[in-house]
Structure 1
Amino acid sequence: MSDTLDIMENITYDELQEGDSATYERTLTEDVLVLFAAVSGDVNPVHLDPEYAAGTEYRERIAHGMWSGSLVSAALATVMPGPGSIYREQNLTFKQAARLGDTLTVNLKVIRKARMNLVFLSCDVRNQNGEQIAIGEAKVIAPAKKLSVPKPRLPRIIIEY
Structure 2
Amino acid sequence: MSPPPPPSAAPSPAPLPTVAIQAAPFDVAAEIAALNGRLAGRAGAVVTFTGLCRDEGGRLEALELEHYPGMAEAEIGRVTAAAEARWPLQAVRVIHRYGLVAPGDGIVLVITASSHRVAAFEAASFLMDYLKTRAPFWKREHLVDGTKGGWVEAAEADDAAAAHWAAILGDAATTEG
Q: Give TM-score, length-normalised by structure 2.
A: 0.22
Highest RCO, 1 vs 2 (Cα 8 Å, sep ≥ 6): 1
Higher helix share: 2
Query: Normalising to structure 1: TM-score of the pair?
Result: 0.23
